Structure 1
Amino acid sequence: MTRLSWTRQQSLVAFSLYCRLPFGRFHSRNPEIIQYANLIGRTPSALAMKLSNIASLDPAITSSGRAGLSGASIADNAMWQEMQYDWAAFSVAIAQAEQVITAASSPAAFNEHGNVTTSKIAEVKVRLGQQFFRNAVLSAYDQRCCISGLANPKLLVASHIVPWSADEQNRLNPHNGLALSALHDKAFDLGLITINEDFRVVVSNKNISNDDHFFNEAIINFHGKSIRLPDKFSPAAQFLAFHRENIFERGCTG
């Protein structure tokens, strides 16, 4: 029997699932894999295998001793490189692919017959990109704050390490993200805390001496503790260095 090649649209859907599912859920019994396999005309086993093949291209997976499968195609490799090269464009591509296969109405900005403005197109692309970034980052951290362990998605933020306004190219790069509680996201954004080279929390010594009991419990008590590292999309060293050098309050300890 002739094996049908994966279309670009099918592969984009597979990459979308790869970005938002934990490695341990790449199996044919996963309801989300079953759902999308039916939508793209593949078996759940084939789609699960595709995700494991993609995993073999991910250094974060292979460096941890997990191998994935060895059947990644030349096209898979090319799409992996495409994703790494331009996260913003890729996030829009996979969102559009999912819209097509779920038969959802395309956003007005993507309707070639619609009378829409350039600003509207840009607005939709930003929204799609932000959704992709949040899904990818929170999934990588298994829907938990990497500092506190909080596991309520409503209270979690896909926090940018290098601020959105400071690096357009890496705005949607999941390696530029941390899963943080809303409180720790704000503290990180304000430079009250940072992450050192050993992935430990550092609290600015401007705040180490604090009479606020809640602040001590929620912030200072995490000083020196290791963050919970993700299954994939580990925070890039250069982004963390930027935060320490440009955002973190000077005069730190540790």
Structure 2
Amino acid sequence: MAKSNNWTKEQTIVAFNVYCKIPFKNSSKTNPLIIKYANIIGRSPSALNMKVGNFGRLDPELKKQGIVGLGNGSKLDEVVWNEFQGNWEKLAYESELLIAEFQNKKIEEIIDDLIFEFPIGTERETIIKQRVNQSFFRSTILSSYNLQCCITGLSISDFLVASHIKPWKVDEVNRLNPHNGLCLNSIHDKAFDKGFITVTPDYKIKVSKCFDDFKKDEAVPDFFLKYDNQSIILPDRFLPSKEFLDWHYTNLFKR
């Protein structure tokens, strides 16, 4: 356990990582993720849960929903929020690196992928960082949408994908920006990626006319056509950027 009651900056950065990874409404001292990370950083689950609530008070998107988080947060909370909010790549890698260090491990030891199959050296380091960042992005997007597809409401996590609105290859700056993500099931993720469906800046689902030739396929009405012009399920935080949605509609959607 920590020797001081005062939170260190390193512990607070990890707490912000947890804030991004866990659905805010599910945060409690009995939540398995809260317990896991509390043990890692040497704080009690109650203390970490309160720190997550402290970050909630700084989140303007929660405030818009009437969710105020916990009061009486520290100045350090604000320092960490201001340093990392909007700087997602820095948050993703630095916070995961700290999580590894708290466990006296190398960062590759906390990654599930078989990193050891990759070459040693610069290429290996690049791949490790990429895997860490991808994992953080997925966790952040899925938690923001409360672990459900924003089109169908499907909540089986193994079928869910953190889908980029603007693809990685198109916009490197916003690769880890949670405002550049939607939580979709694997079928609708592929359809979105290929432009067969889109989401407009007013959060309406649009289905491509390309499906008109396949209406006799029973799966097409069930999987796609019935969702046309329906609203997506909005996340609790990290609303999808209207600018990014407009880009997808303009550049990828097959009208």
TM-score normalised to structure 1 length = 0.89
Deviation at 1:118, TM superposition (A): 2.1
Deviation at 1:106, TM superposition (A): 3.4
1:187 aligns with 2:167: no
Could you say what secondary structure the match of 1:158 adopts? strand
How do residues 34-183 of structure 1 correspond to structure 2 at under 5 angstroms? Answer: 34-107=35-108, 116-183=120-187
Query: Partner of 2:7 in structure 1?
Result: 6
Query: Partner of 2:29 in structure 1?
Result: 28
Query: Partner of 2:238 in structure 1?
Result: 233
Give the partner amino acid of 2:84. M
Give the partner amino acid of 1:159. S
**Equivalent residues of 2:174, 2:180 under 8 A apart:** yes
Distance 2:189 2:107 in 1: 32
Q: Which moved more, 1:34-43 or 1:145-154?
A: 34-43
Give the partner amino acid of 1:186. K
Q: Which moved more, 1:48-57 or 1:26-35?
A: 26-35
Query: Partner of 1:221 in structure 2?
Result: 226
Distance 2:72 2:249 in 1: 40
Instruction: Give the fraction of aligned pairs with identical amino acids, expressed as a percent.
Output: 41
**Equivalent residues of 1:208, 1:220 under 8 A apart:** no
Distance 1:42 1:85 in 2: 26
**Equivalent residues of 1:162, 1:176 under 8 A apart:** yes
Could you say what secondary structure the match of 1:179 adopts? strand
- Backbone CA RMSD of aligned residues: 2.0
Query: Partner of 2:200 in structure 1?
Result: 196
Give CA deviations for 1:86-142 in whole Å, capped at 9, x if unaligned: 21121001111111223334338xxxxxx9522221111111000000111111112
Give the partner amino acid of 1:237. K
- The gaps in structure 2 that reach 5 residues or longer are 110-118
Could you say what secondary structure the match of 1:18 adopts? helix
Deviation at 1:221, TM superposition (A): 0.9
Deviation at 1:7, TM superposition (A): 1.3
Give the partner amino acid of 2:220. F
Give the partner amino acid of 1:161. I
Give CA deviations for 1:212-239 in whole Å, capped at 9, x if unaligned: 2111210111101111111111111111
Distance 1:37 1:154 in 2: 25
**Equivalent residues of 2:86, 2:177 under 8 A apart:** no
TM-score normalised to structure 2 length = 0.88
Deviation at 1:207, TM superposition (A): 2.4
Give the partner amino acid of 1:239. F
Give the partner amino acid of 1:129. N
1:205 aligns with 2:209: yes
Distance 2:230 2:216 in 1: 21
Aligned length in residues: 243
- The gaps in structure 1 that reach 5 residues or longer are 109-114
**Equivalent residues of 1:161, 1:240 under 8 A apart:** yes
Give CA deviations for 1:182-224 in whole Å, capped at 9, x if unaligned: 1100110111111123211111223245322111210111101
